[in-house]
Amino acid sequence: MGGITKGYLIRRIGIFFLTIWIAASLIWLIPRLAPGDPVAAMVSRMIRSAGYVENSEKIIEGWKERFGLNDPLPVQYVRYMGNLVTLDFGYSLAYFPTKVSDIIGMALPWTMGLLLIAVTITFFLGNFLGALMVWSKTPRLIKYIIPVGMIFTSIPSILAAIFLLYIFAFLLNWFPMIGSYKLGLTPGFNAAFIGSVIQYGTLPALSIVLVSFGYWTLGMRGMMITVEGEDYMQLARAKGLSPFYVLYRYMVRNAILPQVTAFAITLGTLVSGQILVEYIFSYQGMGTVIFNAITTQDFPVIQGTSFILIVMTALAVLIIDLLYPLIDPRISYERG
């Protein structure tokens, strides 16, 4: 790969796996520092729903033995790290005997689809508007309208979700209130199902876009102002190049690199904001799974979902880092 040495590639992949190991260790440790007993909490929920559970203490001890919670912490940690290699996250405490991998397998495609659509729209929309705010040929009215539209950036995604839900689902009835697709449809690659998924996913995606695009707009505006004063910009104008060509070829292309870096890094923060959005819309993605796992103290599900999301973010950063020489030929990791 041009611009990347073998040594750098090995070091970068090593850092990738080191990041995952540290993150996985924290995922394992943090829930165990939290107060409460997940098995006892599960039995308590059973008692509240059924009124009485016979031999509850024996059930608690039996389940702790079944899940290895009575073992010393070092033994639990070694077993946990060994299982991660094969992506074996064990069984859900709240939905036993369902495997965590099965829960993730059902929820991950929904989150990936929603996240990729929302992030892509946010990235291109925010950078486009940021470029327009600096470009000298942009009409003055548009330059006034863009900052007004950024007021949504100051509100949490959950409030944006409630606002959109009330206006477009409750009052106008343009979109469904909750769900991922229309009940009764068979999932598959057919027009009816795909259209239903788009209809049900529009408001959750829009909730994320509204509160996120402003950051990209401000970031791109700042980079464009920096590029505006460079010598090659004066040369491009002196050569008589068209304003649009100067905007795309000279300004946007040189200003976009830090935004690409932020694109990979912010995947994790967008997922955290997406958790409550999915819960509000009862969207069957990873956000809803994580929220339910936290409320039920379902350690295996919390660990499994968090691990998958961290791997996704770390992998995105790694890919962007390796693609830098292709994005900007001036960047090279080769030693001189």
Asked if residue 53 has pLDDT above 70, the reply is no
The per-residue b/e assignment along 115-131, b for 16 or more CB within 10 angstroms, e otherwise, is bebbbebbbeebbebbb
Specify the residue for token string 């996250």: 89
Question: Which range among 11-15, 171-175, 180-184, 214-218 shows the weakest confidence by mean pLDDT?
Answer: 180-184
Asked if residue 332 has pLDDT above 60, the reply is no
Instruction: State the pLDDT at residue 272.
Output: 61
Question: Which range among 3-12, 62-71, 76-85, 151-160 shows the weakest confidence by mean pLDDT?
Answer: 62-71
Instruction: State the pLDDT at residue 170.
Output: 83
What count of residues does the chain have? 336
Percentage, residues of the chain above pLDDT 90: 0
The band of 143, judged by pLDDT with boundaries at 50, 70 and 90, is: confident
Question: Any idea where the domains of the chain sit in the sequence?
Answer: 1-94+311-336, 101-295
Nearest 5°: the CA angle 23, 27, 29 is: 115
Instruction: State the pLDDT at residue 336.
Output: 47
Question: Architecture of 101-295 per CATH?
Answer: Orthogonal Bundle (1.10)
Instruction: State the pLDDT at residue 212.
Output: 78
Asked if residue 58 has pLDDT above 70, the reply is no
Distances (CA, A) of 223 to 72, 103, 121, 137, 149: 53, 42, 20, 18, 20
Asked if residue 2 has pLDDT above 60, the reply is no
Q: What residues contact 203, with CB distance under 8 A and at least 6 apart? A: 161, 164, 165, 168, 169, 175, 281
Q: Using one digit for the tens of pLDDT, what is the confidence trace for 179-204?
A: 777 777 777 777 777 788 788 888 88
Instruction: State the pLDDT at residue 59.
Output: 62
Bridge partners of 91, per DSSP, are: 99
The band of 45, judged by pLDDT with boundaries at 50, 70 and 90, is: low
Asked if residue 333 has pLDDT above 70, the reply is no
Instruction: State the pLDDT at residue 82.
Output: 84
**Contact between 286 and 108 (Cβ < 8 Å):** yes
Question: Which range among 10-14, 170-174, 177-181 shows the weakest confidence by mean pLDDT?
Answer: 177-181
Nearest 5°: the CA angle 260, 263, 269 is: 160
Mean pLDDT of 36-55: 60
Q: Alpha helix (H) ranges present in the chain?
A: 6-33, 38-50, 56-66, 73-85, 100-134, 140-149, 157-164, 191-228, 231-238, 243-245, 253-255, 257-280, 286-295, 299-327
Helix (H) or strand (E) holding 181, with range, is: none
**Contact between 23 and 333 (Cβ < 8 Å):** no
For the entire predicted model, the pTM comes to 0.69
**Contact between 158 and 276 (Cβ < 8 Å):** yes
**Structure tokens that stand for 150 in this block:** 């950024």
